[in-house]
């Protein structure tokens, strides 16, 4: 690995850089060893990343402070003479990694903290939080009067965010005075806020009452304390309520039209400074609404959490209407990658199709992109979804001219029942063999996901001859989530899907690690050939090379062709082989 350690003294002597309390740690990081992965992503060393998450706070205002420091660093480096090209390039790689870590934390922390504040509220109400704060080990299986499955689910979430540790068959608070203080002082949320925050945040009078943030308590490591929890709980519904106004803002734009309490919240969150949008603010306003909305749609579950803990059979349902738009925002980039792969596949193999299906259709983002690329071709478009709310949104998008006029819709289409799509296509006079089906984060919604059941689901599509292009995130272990801090969106995403009976599947299939099949293995067992050459991945969860190469991507867009069709097209082994979890 190359590094620029020799210029550290020059950077430490710079007056502007030295104003930041963690200047020495940051200088050590940016002058440390770096590398570029085979996929083109910059990497720092494992020790550098561990130092960053343990000793450089980077949530909310702290994150904006780090971004300001990185900008000043770039100016300082540009003004230096006689630097070797390798030194400049190494520092640039470090800056890119650290900036991306802060950007990611700015988007991923808020959904997790919005959830966590409500989880801690429920456990404060039931008395369990006080027991944990006092040092008690709570075993979900022997906690009388409480639902073991729910406790285990909630405790795993708390562990993944650094608050709990395993202790035999139970869980206890980690040995940290700040976290013990958090547990001892957390109080239940006011019922009005808990029930109404998501629905009424757009009302200024309610927003003003809801927005004040408690007195600051200094953040020490990546683990959020009470101050950050309170910000996250307020910030998520606020950004969702005002996303249209906020999304188009650029760095330096004025926020003077917002109420004073709103500006105070955004300042404490690091999204505005002196009434103007910060660098972090631009990132959160542009990227936040998608994941914020996906998690926020589970608000009905959170209002019933105390009942769930107590073993009540009270039922709740995700707000599907809110989830549709949020999912479209979150999936826009991966659908673009999927459509790129489909275009390349057609060019490379001569494959042609005249039926395009988008399952878990939402507002039809995959179809919209495909229609833009293929408007001159005669393609029959279909949108399928289990929920009427999603089909209704897609119909509105079609009425607005965003989706093809010939697009037809399949209602009540559970993605776990392939025969529903096959029968609908045939009823519309179309053959499923050779059709392309694109799915953005839809298969995790299948309930009762045993390996056998999931293989059966994929088998139904494979036997029908449908080319399947789908994106899914992988279920990461608690250890992965702890060691990557806020560098992935998985902790809250995993939690809400477990809460609602859905499931992610693991990236880690190393011997002895898990008996649960990955998405790829399910598809292959079902008769699909997964083409590595057309598979795309987002960045890996660790921004450094991992021992033995294990470093799964945050999400993977799988490109799967039925085995008989792959033979017919003469696909070569070079397009199929995979070493997917390696750097």
Q: What is the CATH number of the domain that holds 551?
A: 3.40.50.150
- Cross-strand pairs, 529: 561
- Residue that is last in its domain, among 106, 137, 162: 106
- On whether both 331 and 298 belong to a single domain, the answer is no
CA 495 to chain centre: 12
Rounded to whole angstroms, the Cα distance separating 69 from 425 reads 57
213, 233, 462, 479, 509 from 513: Cα distances, Å = 42, 35, 28, 12, 6
What secondary structure, in 3-state letters, does 316-350 show?
A: CCCCHHHHHHHHHHHHHHHHHHHHHHHHHHHHHHC
Res 582: pLDDT:
36
Query: Would you say residue 582 lies in a domain?
Result: no
Which residues does 377 contact at the CB level (< 8 Å), separation at least 6? 354
Res 550: pLDDT:
83
- On whether both 122 and 83 belong to a single domain, the answer is no
- On whether both 431 and 366 belong to a single domain, the answer is yes
- On whether both 214 and 331 belong to a single domain, the answer is no
- Residue that is last in its domain, among 106, 137, 161: 106
Res 215: pLDDT:
52
Res 2: pLDDT:
44
- On whether both 112 and 211 belong to a single domain, the answer is yes
* Residue 319 backbone phi and psi in degrees, to 5: -75, 90
CA 249 to chain centre: 23
Query: Would you say residue 314 lies in a domain?
Result: no
Query: Would you say residue 580 lies in a domain?
Result: no
Query: Would you say residue 534 lies in a domain?
Result: yes
- On whether both 91 and 148 belong to a single domain, the answer is no
Domain count, the chain: 3
- On whether both 524 and 474 belong to a single domain, the answer is yes
State the residue range of the domain holding 55. Answer: 5-106
- On whether both 78 and 139 belong to a single domain, the answer is no
| 3-state SS assignment for residue 467 | strand
- Residue that is last in its domain, among 257, 279, 309: 309
- On whether both 276 and 330 belong to a single domain, the answer is no
- On whether both 113 and 77 belong to a single domain, the answer is no
First to last CA, the chain: 15
Digitized pLDDT (tens) for each residue of the chain, 583 residues in all: 445 557 888 888 888 898 888 999 999 999 999 999 877 889 999 999 999 999 999 999 999 999 999 999 999 998 888 778 888 999 999 999 999 999 999 999 999 999 999 999 999 999 999 999 999 999 999 999 999 999 999 999 999 999 999 999 999 999 999 999 999 999 998 877 776 666 666 655 555 555 555 555 566 789 999 989 989 998 999 999 888 889 999 999 999 888 888 888 899 999 999 999 999 999 999 999 989 998 998 998 999 999 999 988 766 666 555 554 555 555 788 899 999 999 999 999 999 999 999 999 988 999 999 999 998 789 999 999 998 988 998 999 999 999 999 999 999 999 999 999 999 999 999 999 999 999 998 999 898 889 999 999 999 999 999 999 999 988 888 999 999 999 988 899 999 988 888 888 887 665 556 788 999 999 999 999 999 999 998 888 999 988 777 888 888 999 999 999 999 999 876 666 554 443 3
Rounded to whole angstroms, the Cα distance separating 384 from 394 reads 10
Query: Would you say residue 217 lies in a domain?
Result: yes
- On whether both 117 and 174 belong to a single domain, the answer is yes
| CA geometry: angle 20, 26, 29, nearest 5 deg | 175
Query: Would you say residue 583 lies in a domain?
Result: no
Per 3-state DSSP, what percentage of the chain is helix, strand, and coil (rounded to 5)? 55, 10, 35
Query: Would you say residue 473 lies in a domain?
Result: yes
Query: Would you say residue 114 lies in a domain?
Result: yes
**Residues found in the chain:** 583
Res 502: pLDDT:
81
- On whether both 418 and 530 belong to a single domain, the answer is yes
């Amino acid at each position: 690995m190359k590094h620029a350690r020799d210029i550290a003294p020059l950077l430490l002597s710079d007056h502007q850089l030295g104003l930041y309390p963690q200047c020495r740690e940051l200088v050590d990081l940016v002058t440390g060893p770096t590398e570029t992965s085979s996929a083109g992503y910059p990497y720092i060393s494992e020790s550098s990343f561990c130092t960053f998450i343990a000793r450089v706070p980077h949530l909310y205002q702290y994150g904006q402070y780090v971004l300001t420091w990185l900008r000043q660093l770039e100016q300082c480096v540009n003004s230096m003479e006689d630097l070797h090209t390798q030194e400049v390039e190494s520092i640039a790689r470090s800056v890119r990694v650290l900036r991306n870590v802060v950007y990611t934390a700015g988007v991923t922390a808020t959904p997790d903290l919005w959830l966590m504040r409500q989880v801690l509220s429920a456990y404060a109400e039931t008395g369990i939080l006080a027991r944990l704060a006092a040092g008690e080990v709570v075993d979900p299986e022997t906690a009388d009067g409480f639902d073991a499955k729910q406790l285990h689910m909630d405790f795993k979430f708390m562990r993944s965010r650094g608050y709990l540790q395993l202790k035999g068959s139970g869980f206890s608070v980690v040995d940290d005075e700040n976290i013990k203080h958090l547990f001892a002082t957390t109080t239940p949320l006011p019922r009005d806020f808990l029930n109404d925050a998501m629905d009424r945040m757009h009302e200024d009078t309610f927003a003003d009452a809801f927005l004040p943030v408690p007195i600051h308590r200094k953040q020490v490591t990546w683990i959020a304390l009470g101050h950050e929890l309170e910000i996250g709980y307020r910030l998520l519904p606020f950004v969702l309520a005002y996303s249209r106004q906020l999304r188009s803002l650029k760095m330096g734009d004025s926020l003077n039209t917002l109420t004073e309490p709103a500006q105070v919240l955004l300042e404490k969150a690091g999204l505005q400074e002196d009434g103007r949008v910060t660098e972090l603010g631009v990132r959160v306003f542009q990227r936040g609404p998608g994941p914020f909305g996906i998690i926020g749609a589970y608000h009905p579950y959170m209002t019933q959490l105390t009942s769930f803990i107590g073993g009540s059979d009270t039922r709740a349902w995700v707000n599907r209407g809110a989830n549709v738009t949020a999912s479209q925002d979150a999936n826009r980039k991966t659908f673009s990658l999927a459509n790129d792969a489909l275009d390349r596949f057609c060019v490379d193999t001569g494959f042609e199709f005249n039926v395009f299906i988008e399952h878990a259709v939402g507002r039809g983002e995959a179809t919209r992109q495909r229609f833009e690329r293929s408007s001159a071709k005669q393609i029959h478009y279909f949108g399928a979804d289990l929920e009427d709310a999603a089909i209704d949104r897609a119909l509105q998008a079609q009425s607005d001219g965003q989706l093809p006029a010939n697009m037809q819709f399949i209602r009540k289409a559970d993605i776990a029942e392939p025969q529903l799509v096959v029968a609908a296509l045939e009823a519309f006079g179309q053959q499923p063999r050779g059709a392309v089906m694109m799915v953005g984060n839809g298969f995790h919604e299948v309930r009762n996901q045993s390996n056998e059941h999931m293989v059966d689901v994929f088998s139904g599509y494979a036997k029908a001859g449908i080319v399947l292009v789908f994106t899914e995130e992988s279920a990461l272990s608690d250890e992965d989530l702890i060691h990557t801090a806020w560098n992935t969106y998985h902790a809250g995403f995993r939690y809400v899907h477990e809460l609602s009976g859905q499931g992610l599947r693991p990236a880690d299939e190393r011997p002895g690690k898990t008996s649960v099949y990955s998405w790829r293995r399910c598809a292959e067992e079902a008769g699909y050939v997964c083409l590595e050459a057309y598979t795309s991945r987002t960045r890996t969860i660790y921004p450094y090379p991992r021992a033995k190469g294990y470093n799964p991507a945050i999400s993977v867009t799988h490109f799967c062709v039925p085995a008989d069709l792959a033979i017919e097209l003469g696909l070569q082994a070079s397009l199929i082989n995979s070493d997917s979890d390696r750097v």
